[in-house]
Amino acid sequence: MRYNIIDQIFHLKSVCISKEENIRNELGLSPAEFRGIMAMVQGSDIPCSLLSRKMGLSVSRGSRVTDKLLKGGYLKLTRDKSDKRVISAALTDKGFSVQLKIHQMFEDCERMIMNKMTEDEIKALKRSLIKISDCIIDK
């Protein structure tokens, strides 16, 4: 049994990473491709440089991931009409479908947690998670 707060946090992180790996493996996505799909908003184009930042990657590495997502049929690219140097990305129907599937899997995980907790426990957990984040993240 783990009693130390940081041990609990790292254990939970490990469990969440494992769940994410299962989702990615089921969908055949690399970690970067997964982040790329999740960084997109359906119906919106974003510059590829911004997509790279949202994935936490350099522009050159982000470009390679974007190419993989393009080849996989998850993204489509368009050139900016006013600045031909700017290339924007948007989800294809296939990309949106995969993103929806990922969101559904996340919701299923959350539902499993919430079904085992009372409403008061859920509220307390949310407050605690926010407090922990505030303590750990430099503001």
43-87 confidence digits (pLDDT tens): 889 999 999 999 999 999 999 999 999 999 999 999 888 888 889
What is the rounded CA–CA span in Å between residue 33 and residue 85?
23
- Dump pLDDT digits (tens) for 89-114: 999 999 999 999 999 988 998 999 99
Residues shown for the chain: 139
Domain hosting residue 50, numbered range: 29-136
Q: With the C-alpha atoms ordered 8, 129, 98, 41, is the resulting torsion angle positive or negative?
A: negative
What pLDDT score does 138 carry? Answer: 72
With respect to residue 90, please indicate whether it lies within any of the assigned structural domains. Answer: yes
> Whole-angstrom Cα distance, residue 49 to residue 63?
8
| Spatial distance between the Cα atoms of 19 and 31, rounded to a whole number of angstroms | 12
Q: Is the dihedral of CA 32, 43, 73, 100 positive or negative?
A: positive
Q: Is the pTM of this model over 0.95?
A: no
Q: Considering its fold, how many domains does the chain have in total?
A: 1
Which CATH number covers residue 100? 1.10.10.10
Mean pLDDT in residue range 13-35: 91
